[in-house]
Amino acid sequence: MPAYRPEEIEKKWQAHWKQHSTFQAHNHSDKPKYYVLDMFPYPSGAGLHVGHPLGYIASDIVTRFKRLKGFNVLHPMGFDSFGLPAEQYAIQTGQHPALTTDQNIETYIKQLSSLGFSYDWNREIRTSDASYYKWTQWIFLKLFNSWYNLDTNRAEALTDLTARFAERGSEGVRAAGDDGDRQVFTAGQWQLFTEHQKLAAVHSYRLAYQQDTYVNWCPGLGTVLSNDEVKDGLSERGGYPVERRLMPQWNLRITAYADRLLAGLDTLDWPDAVKEMQRNWIGRSIGAEITFPVQDHAHAQIKVYTTRVDTIYGATFLVLAPEHELVNELTTPGQRAAVDEYIAATKRRSERDRMADTKTVSGVFTGAYGLNPVNNEPVQIWLADYVLAGYGTGAVMAVPSGDQRDYLFAQHFGLPIPAISDAQQGLDQQADPTKEGRYINSGIINGLTYKEATTKLIAYLEEKGLGRGKVNFRIRDSIFGRQRYWGEPIPIYYKDGTAYGIAESDLPLVLPEISEYKPTETGEPPLGRAQNWLYRDQYPYELSTMPGWAGSSWYYLRYMDPTNEARFVSEEAEQYWGTVDLYMGGAEHATGHLLYARFWYLFLKDLGLVSSNEPFQKLINQGMILGRSNFVYRASLGWTAINASGDIVSQDHLVHPFLFVSKTAFEILTSPNSFKQDSHFEIKISEKLGVMRDNMQTRYPEYKFEVEAFGIGNNTGFTPLHVDVNFVDNDILDINAFRGWREEYNNAEFIFEDNNTYLCGVETEKMSKSKYNVVNPDVLIGKYGADALRLYEMFLGPLEQYKPWNTNGISGVGSFLKKFWRLFHPEDGDLAVTDEPATPAELKALHKAIQKAQEDIEKFSFNTSVSLFMITVNELTALKCHKRAILEPLVVLLSPYAPHLAEELWEELGHAAGSISHTPYPEFREEFLVEDNVIYPLAINGKVREQMQFAAAATAAEIETAVLASDFLARFGEGKSAKKVIVVPGRMVNVVV
């Protein structure tokens, strides 16, 4: 048998697995089920880099282990294939996004397959396939046709609500949402409503509803962006300005589920950090809603929500969001220009920027005054961008003595900061939010404690009709529309301006073909370009599409039954697979996908369509693999060109060569220590500059050139530049590859190390194309094999931690696999496995490995398993072990980590091809770890003097007799007799004299 050749073995077994559907899961089995899920990828054009497979490798190890343990395992893969990048590429090239998306997916499938992942590819889904998004649209229609009944605490059909309206009118209906947006009517009035009036009355109850909403509008991209897609007021993609704009948008009423989303977190085996992020995002608080009348505006009122109603007497001003609906009405003529300017500036900042910026104090006075409802004192009304229209009521009562942000605002604008408690301290320096002490300067609550004051004030406000106690949430309803082409069409049409859901029998509503993928010249979304795109040839469709998270909110359910044309998932399949047992993915999705998926699942639960309480029972967040960047150091050169007349001429038309210095030269030449300035590297540079000058004069004989290097002795003379790490091996630069990288580097010159190599600089940072530190797994697989890459990524460190990548280390793992191979093929010869019985030492090595490998996988501690395998192979190599009784179970142990090598050896051992995936996991037997003999330290009065070996089964009496019968006491007892012999079984013997 030839030497271990992973490139041949891996292709062989990947083809076998594909041909035989080795990893196909079945929806009916006598085995226990186990559902392993990876967060499915967006198929970008760049493909995978070595950081991407980390979680996939870990989940695949668990998947293969569970199969060996007798589980029917579902391990699917698909693609989140709608999205903005494909659309932007389509806008630039005119190519349909479906084409580039399909090409990218094929690249991903090829790369994922090359890593040997045991996916059930028969269940692959793509969110951009009409057969899939038909059901995404179907779920939307269910949301559109449902309301949330607070009395039953669940979603119910709108037909139940309208039947109730016909019988009793709107009285007594308790529904999630803002009652202030809803009409009040009797049953008789309802009966007289037109169809249009009934739909208008019902719309504000829907779980999917349309409303004017402040959004991040990006004119350059022609679409609404999520907060995650905006950074520092610019779009993350393209860097276009983003502004806040009020637009009609579809929303999903996730707020109806806020309490249930909070309570469910306590039942989940998720990282505490992720659960805490969701708790903070949901932000449940108990407080009061208070109404502030507006002076000189008889009908204007400002509602605020506060968790500290006890501080109301310290509310010396009100702050509104710049988008608040009353701003225009309240702004006085004298403040109009300043207010308009401030609002315009606010529109250029995203909500996230406004919330995160706690250092900048900005605001503008409207000129109007509110009236504090408990004492009728006038308070100024200001605008400030730290208040957001979509959070709470879009207004806050500012209590500068108790809130630091209000304190800084009041200080900045010279507003009063009165104390309200006798326990507040240091108000000349900062706010003090204490709840201790008793209230002062506080009218009806003077002298009361926090609890007493809160109870009395809420009762007073409710009695006077000025407020009420209320539970509030920070979470807002989810904006569900995007002004894009490449997304799921929203299955809505308009009749006389009223929104209707299309009939379920007309699904899917397929994306129409359009001429261009950018917004229309009149500002409509790209779907406005569709010709004759009408529902039943007469009613216009909704032109927005769904956001990227729509399809990913339920994809795990479709995997259970991906080809079902009659139902989004059959009852039998859903009940069999139930909840996802292990979900692997990034923590960055905590307040996005993970929250939305839980929301959709709870809604489907209300409809009786799913059987569990939560979609994902256990979640693991894999850490990030950081890139190992390399740098070259470019010298700053000053060139002078002189013509035949002796004049200095412009050099714009000349091509100058670059000079790069190696790392050691860079460090010495930029050192501030003057004694290093006479180094031989300076001489080398001078010599190299002479060569470069001569080359330039040869190239441009009409000129005379002078050149010098600037800044030697400080960092200004050299510029570190990222270099493609694929040109670097052990930090040594491949000069030819570098010169061929870019045209301007063709004639580059180099100052080398003393060993005539160019040594690059190194830094650990995020893996990114812009830093040229992306390592393509295809290259490493071609050089070392997929099994080596799988093992190496696990070997880097604990799964959840961030880990630096270093390609240099993978060669060690490759060597380990060759060493493993040679247990079966000594000196890379023929298979030499024997049927001889195993020795106790060999059995001990094996069973230590069985015990720890199983414990490690169950604890998701994969890096320690890789170390274990290396130690075990070293032990067996030293024992010259080539015995089937040891090596056969060892192959099974390794198979989740290095499946290709394991399959090959398993077949060589005489088993059916591809059968290792379903063989039983080796059984751990503790008796093989028991030592035959134990070495005991022997001590006199607690001081160890020597050691003696005894049989492991020896009793304390037998050990005592043997010690006293030896010459131990004579040699170390100083002539004294033994008073007592203490034997600690398995540990030590102490003779007391």
Residues 6+ apart with CB under 8 A from 139: 554, 568, 600, 603, 604
Please give the C-alpha separations between residue 563 and each of 132, 570, 611, 643, 912, in angstroms, as whole numbers. Answer: 9, 10, 20, 77, 31
Residues 6+ apart with CB under 8 A from 124: 76, 77, 78, 79, 562
Rounded to 5 degrees, φ, ψ at 509 are: -85, 105
Complete DSSP assignment for 255-290: GGGHHHHHHHHTT-B--HHHHHHHHHHH-EEEEEEE
Residues 678 and 804 in one domain: no
| Within a domain: 707 | yes
Domain count, the chain: 4
Residues 825 and 921 in one domain: yes
Which domain-ending residue is among 473, 488, 518? 473
| Within a domain: 950 | yes
Rounded to 5 degrees, φ, ψ at 455 are: -60, -45
pTM of the model: 0.83
Residues flagged as binding site: 769
Residues 971 and 905 in one domain: no
Whether the CB-CB separation of 185 and 169 falls below 8 Å is answered with: yes
Residues flagged as binding site for ATP: 769
| Within a domain: 130 | no
**CA-to-CA distance for 166 and 168, rounded, in angstroms?**
6
Task: Indicate the burial class of 496 (C-beta count within 10 angstroms; 0-12, 13-18, 19 or more).
Answer: exposed
**CA-to-CA distance for 953 and 416, rounded, in angstroms?**
84
544-569 pLDDT per residue, tens:
999 989 999 999 999 999 999 999 99
Type and span of the H or E element at 535: strand 534-535
Residue 713: the pLDDT is 52
Residues 719 and 680 in one domain: yes
Residue 676: the pLDDT is 47
Please give the C-alpha separations between residue 581 and each of 201, 268, 584, 733, 853, in angstroms, as whole numbers. Answer: 43, 11, 10, 46, 21
Residues 827 and 922 in one domain: yes
Residues 923 and 964 in one domain: no
Residue 683: the pLDDT is 85
862-872 pLDDT per residue, tens:
999 999 999 99
| Within a domain: 111 | no
CA atoms 571, 573, 576, 579: torsion sign:
negative
Which domain-ending residue is among 473, 505, 530? 473
Owning domain of residue 882:
789-928
| Within a domain: 482 | no
- Provide the β-strand partners of residue 935: 949
| Within a domain: 427 | yes
Q: Which residues of the chain have pLDDT under 70?
A: 1, 228, 352, 390, 672-679, 711-716
**CA-to-CA distance for 851 and 845, rounded, in angstroms?**
10
Whether the CB-CB separation of 119 and 112 falls below 8 Å is answered with: yes
**CA-to-CA distance for 266 and 268, rounded, in angstroms?**
6
Mark out the alpha helices in 714-808 (DSSP H runs): 735-741, 777-784, 786-795
Residues 6+ apart with CB under 8 A from 512: 527, 530, 531, 533
CATH number at residue 918: 1.10.730.10
Residues 702 and 842 in one domain: no
Residues 746 and 795 in one domain: no
Residues 753 and 855 in one domain: no
CA atoms 400, 406, 412, 415: torsion sign:
negative
Residue 224: the pLDDT is 75
| Within a domain: 56 | no
CATH number at residue 403: 3.90.740.10
**Beta-carbon-side half-sphere exposure of residue 3 (alpha carbons within 13 Å):** 6
Residues 744 and 814 in one domain: no
Residue 764: the pLDDT is 92
Q: Find the helix packing angle between 272-282 and 258-265, rounded to 10°.
A: 160
Whether the CB-CB separation of 535 and 541 falls below 8 Å is answered with: yes
Peptide bond into 508 cis (omega under 30): yes
User: How far is Cα of residue 894 from the mean position of the Cα atoms in its chain?
Assistant: 30
Residues 733 and 695 in one domain: yes
